[in-house]
């Protein structure tokens, strides 16, 4: 599915670096598509995307698109943060178990509890994208 995009009129507080290998992830994310790598040999997905499968250490991996849906495993609200993030305080972060069997960490937006269904959204900052999770919204049609 294509992720909702939320426009933010500021720059990212601590921008991630990109490598030649991870650039497609960030490029796709800009367009609302959440991707990662999957091993051609053992078939297991990985996150973050990696040029080497962490499970069997082969370098035969392919890009796949993830649905961007999952379950909130845990969360917290940060009230005392690193200098770059003081502008955002308080903010929530959490751990999400994606339906494809991957655990990721991201910002959490809106009211959502542990065990709830969540979906990923793109935070479109001026200088590039990040992602967050919010309460899952049922869609009448799906483009996926």
Partner 1 sequence: MQHEAVTILGGAALPVGKLQGVSEVGTQQLEHEVLARLVVDALHDAGLDKTDVGSMVFTLPRPYTQQKYFATFMANYLRLPCDGLVMEVMGNGMTPALALQAAVDQVRLGRTKVALALGVNFETGTPAPEHMMSSMRATGDVDFHAPFGFTPISWYAMDAMRYIHEFGSSREDLASIAVKNRHHAIENPIAQFRKPMTLDDVLAQRPIVDPLGLFEVPGRGDGAVCLVIAREDIAKSTGRPYTRFRGEGFFHEGAHQISEVPNDMIAFEAARIAGARAFKAAGINPDDIDLAEIYAPCTIVEVLVSEALGFCPRGQGAKQATEGETAIGGRIPICTSGGLLSRGHPAYVTALYSYFELLEQLRGRGGPRQVKNAELGLACTELGNYNAAMVHIMEAVA
What gap in Å lies between CA 33 and CA 36, rounded to an integer?
A: 10
Q: Which does 85 bind (CB under 5 to 8 A by kind): Zn ion, partner 1, none?
A: partner 1
- Lookup result for tokens 């919204």: 137
Residue 37 Cβ vs partner 1, minimum distance, rounded to whole Å: 11
Residues 6+ apart with CB under 8 A from 117: 69, 70, 71, 72, 135, 136
Tell whether residue 64 is a contact of Zn ion (CB under 5 A).
no
Of residues 41-60, those binding partner 1 (CB under 8 A): 46-48, 54
What backbone phi and psi angles, to 5 degrees, belong to 66?
-100, 155
Q: Other C-beta atoms within 10 Å of 80: how many?
A: 8
The binding track of 68-97 with respect to partner 1, each residue x by CB under 8 A or -, is: -----xxxxxxxxxxxxxx-x-xx-xxx-x
| Minimum distance of partner 1 from residue 140's CB (angstroms) | 30
Q: CA 3 from chain center: how many Å? A: 10
Q: Assess 22 for contact with partner 1 (CB under 8 A).
A: yes
The residue ranges that bind partner 1 (CB under 8 A) are: 12-17, 22, 46-48, 54, 73-86, 88, 90-91, 93-95, 97, 101-107, 114-115, 130, 132
């Amino acid at each position: 599915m294509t992720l909702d995009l939320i426009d933010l009129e500021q720059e990212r507080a601590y921008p991630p670096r990109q490598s030649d290998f991870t650039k497609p992830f960030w490029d796709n994310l800009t367009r609302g598509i959440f991707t990662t790598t999957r091993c051609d040999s053992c078939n297991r997905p990985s996150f973050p995307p990696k040029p080497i499968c962490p499970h069997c250490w082969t370098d035969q991996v392919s890009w796949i698109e993830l649905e961007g849906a999952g379950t909130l495993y845990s969360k917290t609200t940060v009230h005392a943060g690193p200098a770059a993030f003081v502008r955002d305080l308080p903010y929530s972060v959490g751990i999400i178990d994606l339906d494809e069997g991957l655990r990721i960490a991201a910002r959490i937006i809106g009211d959502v509890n542990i065990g709830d269904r969540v979906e990923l959204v793109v935070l479109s900052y001026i200088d590039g994208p990040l992602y967050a999770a919010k309460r899952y919204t049922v869609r009448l049609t799906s483009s996926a």
